[in-house]
Structure 1
C-alpha cells in the first residue's frame, strides 16, 4: 500500500468542528476543557490553521458525543469511489499507525469504514470512544495484535475480531506491511 500522506482536509475539519460544537450548544472554552485541549489549539482547528492528530480528533469526537468520522468526512454523492492513492491518511502521534476513513455512516446507519496501515514498533494505544462503540477488524495483510487493553488477540490475514471501542484498546503490527479494514459501529 502507498504510505504517502496528503495533508488532512483542514477546511472540512474546521467547518465540521464548528458546526458540531454549535449544534451541541457549547463554547470553545468548554469544548477545549472537555477534550483536554488548550483553547488556542481548538481555535486554530476551527480556523483551519491547526494540524490535528488522530488522538486530538478522537478526543473532540468523544467530548462532543459524536463519531470521529463526523469531523473528517464531507457528505458523499450517491456513487462514490475512493482510489487507494487518493485516500486522506491521518497519522497517530505516538505510533506508526495511519487510518484512512473510506466512508462514514449516516444518522440512521452509525458505522464508519476505515483502512488502517501499521508497522511494527510503538503500538497504537487508543482511548475509549463514545459509549456503545464496537470495533470490527479484518486483517488484509501482515499480522496484528488488537483488542481492549489486557484482552488483545493476535490476528493473521483473513482473521476477524470485534471488541468494545468504548474501552481503551490496542493495535500493534507484528509484521511489516500490516494493514486491515476497520468498521467502527456506533450504537
Structure 2
C-alpha cells in the first residue's frame, strides 16, 4: 500500500489551478516551503498525511478530492493496492477508495449473496455509479460486457447507468454496495 504520487501531483496541480493561486500562496497558506509544493506537483517526494491535509485546507477542498484520480469508467482497486497516505504521528494509514461528487446522493447496502442465478440489473438513471467492496467470499461484478472477479477486500466502481451484474462464486458472499446518483 503506497501513495501514488502521480495522482497527488495531478490533484495538486488541478486544484491549485482551479483556485488561480500561485505556488507561493498555496505553500504559505499550508505552512510548507514553496519548494516542497513544487516537488509534490512534479510527482517527487513522499508527503505525509499532515502535509496533504494542510494543502487541502489551503485549497479549501475535501481531503479525498485531492487523491481522487479522474475515472470515467470502471475502476478496480485490489486489496492492498489503493492509494494510501500515512500519518507522521501515529500508526495510521488511510486508503481512499472514492470521493463523493458535489450534490450526489449515496445509499449504502449490505449484500448477502449465494451462488446460483446472477443478479442482473438494468441500467439505473443516467449518471448513476455503484461502488462495491467485497467483504467475504468471491464474486464476479461489474458491467455485463466486462465483469471482473473480486476477492475479499477488493473494491470496484462502475457506471450503473449501464446493465450490470453480481454473481456470487462462493456461499455466504458478503459485500458493501454504495449506490450513487447525481
Relative to the length of structure 1, the TM-score reads 0.53
Deviations 1:138-186 (A, max 9, x none): xxxxxxxxxxxxxxxxxxxxxxxxxxxxxxxxxxxxxxxxxxxxxxxxx
Aligned to 1:76: 71
- Please, which moves more after superposition, 94-103 or 67-76? 67-76
Contact 2:53 2:63 in 1 (8 A): yes
Task: For residue 110 of structure 1, report the CA deviation from its aligned partner.
Answer: 8.6
Unaligned runs of 5+ in 1: 112-187
Aligned to 2:19: 24
Largest Rg, 1 or 2:
2
| Aligned pairs (5 A) from 1:117-132 | none
Relative to the length of structure 2, the TM-score reads 0.54
For these two proteins, the number of residue pairs brought into alignment is: 109
Aligned to 1:123: none
Unaligned runs of 5+ in 2: 107-182
Per chain length, whose mean CA-contact separation is higher, i.e. which structure has more relative contact order (CA < 8 Å, sep 6+)? 2
- Runs of at least 4 residues off by over 4 Å: none
Alpha-carbon distance in structure 1 between the residues aligned to 2:55 and 2:102: 19
